Structure 1
Amino acid sequence: MTRRSGSADLPLHGGRVPMWLAERMSRLGAVITQAIVHHYGRDEFLRRLAHPFWFQSFGAVMGMDWHSSGITTSVMGALKRGLEPLSGELGLHVCGGRGRHSRKTPDELHGIADMTGLDGDALARASRLVAKVDSAAVQDSFDLYLHSFVLADDGQWVVIQQGMNGESRYARRYHWQSEGLESFLSDPHSAIDGKPRGNIINLADRRAEKSRGAQLDLLRDLGPDKVAREVALLRGHEDQQQTLPHLVMPEHHDVRSGDVMIRRLHGALAAAADRGPEDFQDLLLVPGVGARTVEALAMVAEVVHGTPCRFADPARFSMAHGGKDRHPFPVPTEVYDRTIAMLKTAVEDARLGNEERLDAIQRLDKQARQLERWVSGPSLENHMAAERAASHGYGGRSVFGWEPPAKAPVVKTVPRPAKTVGKRRPPRFALTP
């Protein structure tokens, strides 16, 4: 059976992603995908997409609103644009999308099948069944408006769908994965993201097999007496849904201390300060590349290399490149561009057999996890205030325009590893788990 990985609450947000951010999201999404495929393979990238916690963090590190429903649309749109020129190299194709684009999915799948030798009819049927299950078999008051189908050349796929509930102003995201899929009507979802809103009729649950059979019986032998008997049985034997681990995305736009595991943020900042000068000496000599870019790269490195338990706080990843709505701070476009350039150079070198830079990025992630056990640093509020004050110098930009110069200079501090004599051990002021 497929893996259930949890759920998330996604407040509905309006508006569009500005072109200056959409283009950067496409480039960063593509190069992160290349890095994951290089290190762990194509199947692992599909597994990441099917994981709702990782998916939300992936969108946050791209500078999208860290908690809103718009992450789903923008991330899948960015991947569709960014991976299209790389489809021959990676063997990955993104079909469908929002609204009218979703209805083109079967035709797009047939086109890819013609090139790869896959069964286009079977893929189109899978696409339709997935959409039908989440719109009809799962009756949870959310109306589907997005259907994205990510297909690999070997026939493996992931589907990400999203529905909205206009009354509650929340969205629900559904994750499907073909790996291990035995039935479209017996626990097919890898995850369902959304805020629980009362009882849900989920006929795609394996425990609903008898219910599906009973409905067919009713269609064949419909009568008032039998209907009454069946209703009485259903009321007497209600089966509660199993509670899945779920990520609650709050309605507030600003990032608050409760949204971030500060110890892990301190680890990433300390790793950038400690490993950066050692691992990126040649890149740090490039004009404009400094510690702030390495900080962003450390958080991108965790998106590439982190294990599932590392993504319980997606807001933390917005500390890499901010957010388009100025939360937690404006997008530092210059830092963003240098992050893409550094990661792209590392990936291109690795393709030519030189793994040094890509391995250095992986060491940043390992160092961050080691340092977070004993380093301390600024509070989240102070960290964000310093980022906003320095935003103009980093090319800060949001949907409200370019960020003006700060009124007064603010010196940003980063955590440093604790000084010890002899064997390193956590000092008394270390953050506790």
Structure 2
Amino acid sequence: MTARRSGSADLPLHGGRVPRWLGERLTKLGAVIAEAIVIEYGREEFLRRLAHPFWFQSFGAVMGMDWHSSGITTSVIGALKRGLNPLAGELGLNVCGGRGAHSRQTPHELVAIGERVGFDGDKLAAASRLVAKVDSAAVQDGFDLYLHGFIVADDGRWVVVQQGMNGDARQARRYHWLSEGLKSFVEEPHSAIDGEGQGVIANLTDARAAASRRMQIDLLSDLGPDRIERKIAKIEGAAKPAKAPLQPFLPHLVMPAHHDVRAEDIVARRLHANLAAAADQGPKDFAELLLVPGVGARTVRALAQVAEVVHGAPYRFSDPARFSVAHGGKDRHPFPVPLKVYDRTIAVMKAAVAKARLGEAEELAAIRRLDDQARRFERQACSGPSVEALFAEERVRSNAYGGMSVFGPEPAPERDLEDVRPAPSS
């Protein structure tokens, strides 16, 4: 099997920072979701998930980050580094690199980890440098790399997630690499490239560019750089515009420029299936099994979407905006982050994972049944509230759920709560 490109997406550049109250929760929820995936499916599967650009965006959205923005990449890598590295001895996963200066430390971190666990750290350090060099030099698409995250298992398998920006276009492009099946760093090595098309790209890693790579080496040997430069100047003076080469079709996830979540950003039947599964399966499983104080219908609804992030098939992540319904967004889109719900989601997941480590898998099985039930409901004519109605009710209830955003705590609603249907318990 050869390494593959699995899709692309447009990621609007967003400024700002992750507030501490969210950063701490991102670390806890990201780590416990990763633990659940490793327990259920193994480390290799978790690496494959990270290499899937649609899943990666949904993973960030379910944790309360801006559902469509480039900031998800930085926040997810940072949260995993803070949350998983202390668990490296148990999970056998290590997160290296990060943004800016942190990215340049990746080779040193890999060498140190290799000395500790026994893989060839120097070899992986070289791989890290090559990955960065390919996406910055061999793929000339107008994006300058500023983030490089390298996640490696104790057996030496790895995934790289790195991101570049085009400041003029206010866009970002995320690149995914997976060591599984990788045969060459210079011929079609990417697991995926995320980003909106920018016209013709000089991609020297394309298989069709093999002859070009060979000729470049031959030219450099035969002519030297000075004579090559003179010949290029002569050719550019007489050349006509070339016709754009045909590009292979790839799934393309378009992250729109609008910040608000709209009905067209969500596959309604999947959302309704999540809601129906929470209403149907939650009372039977969670009241009896999990017994986490304060867990009510609203938390189970969030858990239904966390369950899908843990168990869902790849095709189900084509609408990352849907996963923002679990815990909202830090900028109030689609609604403020409900901290009470978020904390109970973390508590439920941590309790389930802790017991699973001891061989008691009932709680994780209950979470899996939420996802199973959602898939069954989706095959039926499942209906529910409109996206707009769901968001409107959530905003009214936000103060009761401990709603928080970068603008501060959410105030109590101006209208009486009796004006909307009774709120589910959190």
TM-score, normalisation: structure 1: 0.92
Q: Distance in 1 between matches of 2:180 and 2:203?
A: 21
Distance 1:285 1:131, change over 3 A: closer
Distance in structure 1 (CA, Å) of the matches to 2:248 and 2:44 = 28
8 Å contact from structure 1 (residues 277, 284) kept in 2: no
What displacement does 1:337 show? 0.5
Alignment RMSD: 1.9
1:402 aligns with 2:409: yes
Cross-structure match for 2:333: 327
Offset at 1:236?
6.8
Distance in 1 between residues matched to 2:370 and 2:63, nearest whole Å: 19
Q: 1:261 to 1:231 in 2, by over 3 A?
A: farther
Q: State which drifts further: 117-126 or 215-224.
A: 215-224
**CA displacement at 1:241 relative to structure 2:** 2.4
Q: Deviations for 1:363-401, whole angstroms, at most 9, x for unmatched residues?
A: 000101111222211100000000010011110000000
Partner of residue 35, structure 2: 34
For the structure 1 residues 393 and 283, does the alpha-carbon distance in structure 2 shift closer, same or farther, using more than 3 Å as the test?
Answer: farther
How many residues align structurally? 414
Q: Once the two structures are superposed, what CA deviation does each residue of 1:306-346 show, in whole Å capped at 9, x if it has no partner?
A: 01000000000000000000000000001000001001101
Q: CA-to-partner distance for each residue in 1:259-287, whole Å, 9 max, x for gaps?
A: 00011111111111111010112367654
Q: Which residue of 2 aligns with 1:381?
A: 388
Aligned to 2:97, the other structure's residue is in SS state: strand
User: Does the 8 A contact of 1:283 with 1:289 survive in 2?
Assistant: no
SS at match of 1:357: helix
Residue 216 of structure 1: SS of its match in structure 2?
A: helix
Q: What runs of 5+ residues in structure 1 fail to find an aligned partner?
A: 415-433
SS at match of 2:399: helix
Distance (Å, rounded) in 1 between the aligned partners of 2:238 and 2:155: 48
Taking the aligned partners of 1:5 and 1:54, their CA distance within structure 2 comes to 11
Q: Per the alignment, in what secondary structure is the counterpart of residue 60 of structure 1? A: helix
Mark the CA change 1:153 to 1:234 in structure 2 (over 3 Å): closer, same or farther. farther
Match of 2:281 in 1: 275
Could you say which residue in structure 2 is the equivalent of 1:76?
77
Q: Deviations over 1:168-197 (max 9, x none)?
A: 000000000100000000100000000111
Equivalences for residues 192-231 of structure 1 within 5 A? 192-222=193-223
From 293, 302, 322, the counterpart of 1:296? 302
Measure the CA separation in 2 of the matches of 1:262 and 1:73: 29
The residue aligned with 2:49 is: 48
Equivalent residue number for residue 153 of structure 1: 154
Q: Does the C-alpha gap of structure 1 residues 210 and 325 become closer, same or farther in structure 2, counting only changes over 3 Å?
A: same
Q: Structure 2 vs 1, CA of residues 318 and 143 (structure 1 numbering), >3 Å: closer, same or farther?
A: same
Question: How much identity, in percent, do the aligned residues show?
Answer: 69
**SS of match in other structure, 2:107:** helix
Matches within 5 A, 1:251-290: 251-282=257-288, 286-290=292-296
Cα gap change, 1:203/1:320 in structure 2, threshold over 3 Å: closer, same or farther?
Answer: same
Summarize the Cα distance change of 1:308–1:128 in structure 2 as closer, same or farther, 3 Å threshold: same
The farther-off stretch of 202-211 and 239-248 is: 239-248
* Partner SS for 1:240: coil
**Pair 28,198 (structure 1): closer, same or farther in 2 beyond 3 Å:** same
2:240 paired with 1:239: no
Between 248-257 and 233-242, the greater mean CA deviation after superposition? 233-242
Q: Partner residue of 1:305?
A: 311
1:239 CA displacement: 3.4
Amino acid in structure 1 at the alignment position of 2:117: T
**C-alpha separation in 2, matches of 1:413 and 1:266:** 18
Q: CA deviation at 1:81?
A: 0.2
Q: Which residue of 2 aligns with 1:341?
A: 347
Q: Is the 8 A contact 1:386 1:412 kept in 2?
A: no
- Cα distance in 2, alignment partners of residues 113 and 280 from structure 1: 42
User: Could you tell me which of 399, 415, 421 is aligned with 1:411?
Assistant: 421
Q: Distance in 1 between matches of 2:100 and 2:235?
A: 41
C-alpha contact (below 8 Å) 1:322/1:328 kept by paired residues: yes
Partner in structure 2 of residue 61 of structure 1: 62
Q: Matches of 2:412 and 2:423 in 1, distance apart?
A: 19
1:356 paired with 2:366, answer no
The answer (yes or no) to whether the contact 2:10–2:255 under 8 Å persists in 1 is yes
Q: Does structure 1 retain, via aligned residues, the 8 Å contact 2:397–2:423?
A: no
**Maintained 8 Å contact 1:77/1:97:** yes
Shift of 1:214: 1.2
Equivalent residues of 1:96, 1:103 under 8 A apart:
yes
For the Cα contact (< 8 Å) 1:275–1:367, is it kept in 2? yes
Tell me the secondary structure at the aligned position of residue 4 of structure 2: coil
**Counterpart position of 1:25:** 26
Q: 2: CA distance between counterparts of 1:349 and 1:63?
A: 26
User: Following TM superposition, by how much is the alpha carbon of 1:288 offset from its aligned partner in structure 2, in angstroms?
Assistant: 2.1
Distance in 2 separating the partners of 1:369 and 1:233: 56
Could you give the per-residue CA deviations for residues 172-225 of structure 1, whole angstroms, max 9, x where no partner exists? 000001000000001000000001111100011111111111111221233579
Distance in 2 of aligned mates of 1:83 and 1:250: 31
| Unmatched segments (≥5 aa) in structure 2 | none
